[in-house]
Amino acid sequence: MVNLRLSRRAVYKGETSRGLKTFTGYLPVSGLMRPRLRGQMMIDQALTRRILLAEDDNDMRKFLVRALEQAGFQVASFDNGLSAYNRLREEPFELLLTDIVMPEMDGIELARRATELDPDIKVMFITGFAAVALNPDSEAPKDAKILSKPFHLKDLVHEVEKLLEAA
């Protein structure tokens, strides 16, 4: 039996003569296609453009989810870093979009742990405290993008698309 997810991370489960074995590996995502209604083919961006959002402000989180989903992204959202990290351990995402100041686990620690789990994950901080993320002692991923609050939603969507296209 094989349990394969269409993403960067694949989990193989199989039984050998010595018992159940599990292997987790990483595969590139490419060529994922689905037919359009008129028979044309297009890249299934919903499979490859998955965002994990961690934002403790409920109104801001709902606003961001709605804007990103309208732009064609799949979004899983959480109100704290620990819950977001637990979800990331269960399934892969292409982008971690996180606030920095949050309860239970801050965004910098979440980003650090996320890149340990998946070195290919992109990280973007959305914060009113950009100077904290830019601090070299913060242990934030070096190639993380920072978007300072306040920002316009079209700027957020543009920056997210640009970051994901650079992959």
Is the pLDDT confidence value at 43 over 50? no
What does the pLDDT average to over 124-139? Answer: 69
Residue, of 24 and 143, whose pLDDT is higher: 143
> How far apart, in whole angstroms, are the C-alpha atoms of residue 24 and residue 22?
7
What's the average model confidence in pLDDT over 18-35? Answer: 45
What digits encode the pLDDT tens for the residues 90-127? 999 999 999 998 888 999 999 999 999 999 999 999 98
Question: Residue 130: what pLDDT?
Answer: 61
Tokens of 129: 């405290």
Which residues pair with residue 21 across a beta bridge? 14
Q: Are 72 and 82 in contact (CB under 8 A)?
A: no
Give the C-alpha distances (Å, rounded to integers) separating 20 from 14, 26, 155: 6, 20, 48
Confidence check: pLDDT of 2 > 50: no
Helix spans in 45-152 (H)? 45-48, 58-70, 81-90, 107-117, 130-134
Domains of the chain: residue spans and CATH:
44-165 (3.40.50.2300)
pLDDT value at position 103?
Answer: 86
Tens-place pLDDT, residues 76-90: 999 999 999 999 999
Q: How far apart are the first and last CA of the chain?
A: 31
